[in-house]
Amino acid sequence: MDEIEGRRPRAGRRAAVLGGQTSAEWGGWAGAFAGDLRARLASALRAEADAGRLVPWLAVAFGVGVLLYFAAPSEPSLGASIILTIVLCAGAWASRERTVLFAVSIALATAAGGFMAGCVRAALVEHQPMTGAARTITVQGYVESRDATERSDRVVLLVTGSKGRGASNMPERVRVAFRGGTAPSVGEHVEALARLSPPLGPVRPGGYDYARGMYFQGIGATGFAYGRARPAQAAPAPWSIRVAAAVEMMRRSLASRIRSLLPGEAGAIAGALVTGVRDEVSAETNEAMRISGLYHLLSISGLHMALIAGALFALIRGGLALVPRLALRRPIKKWAAVAAFAGCAFYLVLSGAEVATQRSFIMIAIVLGGVLVDRPALTVRTLATAAFGVLLLQPEALLSPSFQMSFAATLALVALYERCVPLMAVAPAGGGALAHLSERAWRWLLLGTATSLFAGLATVAYVAFHFQRLAPYSVLANLLAMPLISFVIMPAGLLSVLLLPFGYDAYGWKIMGAGIEGMLKIAEWVAALPGADGRFAAFGAGALLLATVGILLLALPVTWLRLAGLPPLAISFVLAATAPRPDVLIDDAGQTVAVRGAEGRLQILNSGGSRFIAENWLAADADRRKAGKETEKGFACDPWGCVALLSDGTKVAVARRREAFTDDCREAGLVISTFEAPRGCRAATVDRATLASTGALALWRKDGIWMAEPSRALYADRPWYGRTKPVDADALAGLTGRQNAQRAITAPADADPQNDALPEAIAPGDE
């Protein structure tokens, strides 16, 4: 026993010696390093707390709670969310004397509050969307809103009556697309024959969920009208409709006046900037603005609100400062803030009060509120308060690109100005007045360049994720265009509106038009540069989440902790750049199918499906082609169906008739059909039962095995999904190796038993 005990140290030393050092020495060094790291971390956290930089993280926690609500596979219980929030708030209060525990508790309580906000919002907008197959229905209703796209005019109808099969289950609101220029005006009570469908879900896995956005707008069905709408008799319109009609008439009248004084594209863009009416902006101008990175200027959002508020604030405060008695004895700064708030509220109404504009107004209102209570106008804490306010009222905004891009850009600019403005305030050393002026001019030029650069870098991940586009020259375009926007276009527009009642607005519109002409020349020049039309293939939400974490870590801390943001950003870039592309894509109706051929490009069969879906897939694949004959060349078709080949030679068949299954099941590796697939089919199959459960599908073929990713998780069930029956585990049986096991899902109850083909998809332009 003693001998064994004596050998243990020698054996331990032989195993532990590494590079001349024993395990004890390595352990001591590691312990010292860990202790030093803990001390530095604690010191950094104390510095963050002293600088007030821990409070903004509560807004992040609130957003995490909102995200958890939307990620839930089934609709959470409102009561349970309220109880959880109360319990966690009580726990935070009880632990207020223990610093670390309190910080953790308050973060958890705030996240629970975000989760509860999502539940409350869903309960407030609760309604039953249309389910099942598309139906042709005569619908009557008041026109609540109207907007135009490049292909059609779309209106939202507050339904007052309906006729036709399935009309008894009509939702409260529907969105209907009319041929361009034929849509009724806001406030009218009309009747129209329309083809209505459930709101469109994601057109590909990971894509934007249009049905979710429609649900929170109270819209339960979308579709297109056959011909024009007809006036219909009805009781007096509700007050909300009358107000909306009056506002719309004011907007349209002002837009018409602007275009009469400014013909061409300048007038169309001026009307869009002032009233939000973008009907007359040409497709060529829209594309040039997108490619150059200036398209955000056409969407009334935070920039426009900030410019209007800033111009009004400076004008009112500067004017009052000319009166010494007021400037010395009265709070003219607060008076200017109230006037700026009133002006922004009027601009909100004038521009149509779209969702993005509402969020921008809330942000500006909170900033101006900070002026009223003698708080700094724009800091990270003010921005966090604005995020709280927006998410509390509209939790669904968190998932929208406008919210993400707006707050990311603003956060980057606030962080930049916090670090750069003190440097700008340092007086130039030596030299005369001309040297001082020259040095300050260079400083402001560098700051302007940095502003465009940082705002662009902060939003690039969100632009790539949502739109699969990059604008490599956006910094250049914004640097050249922002002086025109800030000092000519928007101030001239504000001046014109103020002069309108006195009849002198024409002079302001002319100045605004000259600035817009300059902006358009910049956009067209930048869009024509080599490589200006950047594309980026679609990638997963995980990469976007990591990019968001990286941006937050870089912008919020004031200590060396900000360096922790670099690894998430690097990993997110790698994940985005290496995201796998699907071999096959199928829309939720089985009408549009894409197959990746030998050249590595998608070949798209769009037999009666939506052109919008096909173009969305091409954009997600970073493919500049337009959907049409060129993208269908990879398919060989006959009256029974179509066939395409994958790069490995696997045959993908699309069966248009039941008779096609005989050959396709024997020869193809994958059979896609809107019919029910026969039992015993040797090929993997995707049929109507599969698509009813999964929505749009993406498939990969690896080592002879098909892997499928649905756009709707099989067991997930949210109010906006519009599923008519429970989902069965065998919905993907044809892709999991079991040969078409009996499925529990059948055709929708309102499907025509005489026609097994699913109805046509949503019409182009009604996406």
pLDDT number for residue 517: 94
Please name the residues in contact with 161: beta carbons below 8 A apart, sequence gap of 6 or more. Answer: 139, 140, 141
Quote the CA–CA distance of 133 and 165 in Å, as a whole number. Answer: 11
pLDDT digits (tens, 9 = 90+) for 55-97: 899 999 999 999 999 999 889 999 999 999 999 999 999 998 8
The distance in angstroms from the start CA to the end CA of the chain is 82
pLDDT tens digits, residue range 278-325? 888 888 898 899 899 888 888 777 777 888 888 888 888 888 888 888
Tell whether the model's pLDDT for residue 248 goes beyond 70.
Answer: yes
For 394-417, how does the pLDDT look when each residue is reduced to its tens digit (9 = 90+)? 899 999 888 898 889 888 888 888
Question: Hey, what are 562's tokens?
Answer: 């900000």
The pLDDT score that the predictor gives to residue 510 is 93
Give 106's pLDDT tier (boundaries 50, 70, 90): very high
pLDDT, mean of residues 721-726: 63
Note the pLDDT of residue 523.
93
User: So what's the pLDDT on residue 192?
Assistant: 93
Q: Which residue has the higher pLDDT, 480 or 351?
A: 480
Rounded to the nearest angstrom, the gap between the alpha carbon of residue 230 and the centroid of all alpha carbons in its chain is 35
Mean pLDDT of the chain: 82
Q: Is the model more confident about 40 or about 111?
A: 111
Q: What pLDDT band is residue 421 in, cutting at 50, 70 and 90?
A: low
Q: Reply yes or no on whether the pLDDT at 428 is more than 70.
A: no
**pLDDT confidence tier of residue 751, bands split at 50, 70 and 90:** very low
Q: Are 644 and 672 in contact (CB under 8 A)?
A: no
Instruction: Detail the DSSP E strand segments found in 545-611.
Output: 584-586, 592-596, 602-606
Q: SS3 string of 592-631?
A: EEEEECCCCCEEEEECCCCHHHHHHHHHHCCCCCCCCHHH
The answer to whether 129 and 718 have CB atoms below 8 angstroms apart is no
In which band, very low, low, confident or very high, does the pLDDT at 609 lie, cut at 50, 70 and 90?
low
Identify the pLDDT of residue 24. 60
553-581 pLDDT per residue, tens? 999 998 888 899 999 999 999 999 999 99
Reply yes or no on whether the pLDDT at 10 is more than 80: no
Mean of the pLDDT values across residues 172-181? 90
Quote the pLDDT of residue 15. 45
The CATH class for the domain spanning 135-237 reads mainly beta
Q: What is the distance of C-alpha 494 from the center of its chain?
A: 29
Nearest-10 crossing angle of helices 380-393, 99-124:
40
Contact (Cβ atoms closer than 8 angstroms) between residue 382 and residue 306 = no
Predicted confidence (pLDDT) per residue in 487-530, tens digit? 899 889 989 988 988 889 999 999 999 999 999 999 999 999 99
- Per DSSP bridges, beta strands 221-225 and 173-179 are parallel
Q: List all residues 6 or more positions away from 257 whose beta carbon is below 8 Å from its beta carbon.
A: 505
Please give the backbone phi and psi of residue 184, each rounded to the nearest 5 degrees, phi first: -70, 165
Residue 470 has pLDDT above 80, yes or no: yes
Q: What's the pLDDT at 26?
A: 57
pLDDT of residue 739 exceeding 50: no
- Using CA atoms, how far residue 761 sits from 591, 725, 757, in Å, is 8, 20, 12
**Per-domain residue ranges of the chain:** 56-124, 135-237, 249-424+437-535, 541-577, 584-735
Residue 526's contacts (CB-CB under 8 Å, 6 or more residues apart) are 291, 292, 293, 294, 473, 476, 477, 480, 532
